[in-house]
Amino acid sequence: MTKSDERPGAELWVPEHADLSELRHAAEECRGCELWEDATQVVFSRGAATAPMMIIGEQPGDREDLTGEPFVGPAGRMLMEAASAADLLEDDLYVTNAVKHFRFERRGKRRIHDKPAVGHIVACHPWLEAEAEIVQPEVIVALGATAARAVLGRTVKIGEVRGTVLEPPAGCVSPVVVTAHPSSILRVRDSADREAAFDALVDDLRTAADLVTR
């Protein structure tokens, strides 16, 4: 029995003492869970190791899966708009996802987003850990419940914790701000409610930005 049979997860594929480009390259080969089988490619991260803020989403979406780039779909565009409204620059941000392969369900020709299971979050966590170790962000922003679960190692209710500065989780030096995932804002039908939800996201990003000193 190999180590991966005993303990599935990305750990076997994460190189030691790697820089970001080596991590990105190594992730292409990851077989730490089954999600690589149906996805087009791994979607890793965008941003420099010097970025003071690490923003973590859930998983790549359809467009991200096809392009190989994170946060290029509608939710990604909304995040960047909110970041800009919070006076954050592109260079301030290192953006990544809790799970690096797209999980979806086929319905005819369409691929419908399917939330990653806790097992996928746990399997993919070694990549997130390695990224945080390299970037050493001054603050981590978790977008939505999956990212919060990945960062904090426990389930939280977004409505209860959002916008507050949480202590760094075990093994991490960065405080965490949890907020809503932009995709949840895109699903709000009423335009006034959607605008209010967008403003709340900007407020949470401002709270995180206040912790940045470099």
Q: Is residue 102 involved in binding ligand SF4 (CB under 6 A)?
A: no
Strands (E), the chain: 53-57, 93-97, 104-107, 110-113, 139-143, 165-166, 176-179
**Segments of 11-146 assigned E as strands:** 53-57, 93-97, 104-107, 110-113, 139-143
d(CA 81, CA 205): 11
Cβ atoms 80, 63 nearer than 8 A: no
- From the list 58, 39, 57, the residue with the least C-alpha distance to 104 is 39
Q: Write down the least CB distance from residue 11 to ligand SF4, Å.
A: 9
Residue from 51, 82, 97, 101 in contact with ligand SF4 (CB under 6 A): 101
Cα gap 177→113, rounded to integer Å: 25
Q: Is 132 in the site for ligand SF4 (CB under 6 A)?
A: no
> Rule CB under 6 A: is residue 54 a binding residue for ligand SF4?
no
Binder to ligand SF4 among 26, 53, 56, 123 (CB under 6 A)? 123
Alpha-carbon gap, residue 53 to 174, rounded angstroms:
9
3-state helix, strand, coil in the chain (%, to 5): 45, 15, 40
Q: How far apart are CA 15 and CA 42, in angstroms?
A: 16
Report the residue number, 2 or 191, with the smaller CB distance to ligand SF4: 2
Find the part of the chain contacting ligand SF4 (CB under 6 A) among 75-83, 94-102, 151-159, 201-209: 94-102
Binding of ligand SF4 by 98 (CB under 6 A)? no
Nearest CB to ligand SF4, comparing residues 36 and 198: 36
If the CB atoms of residues 123 and 208 are measured against ligand SF4, the closer one turns out to be: 123
Q: Which is nearer to ligand SF4, 28 or 87 (CB)?
A: 28
94 forms part of the interface with ligand SF4 (CB under 6 A)? no
Q: Which of residues 22-41 bind ligand SF4 (CB under 6 A)?
A: 27, 30-33, 35-36
Which residues would be at the binding site for ligand SF4 (CB under 6 A)?
10, 27, 30-33, 35-36, 42, 99-101, 120, 123-124
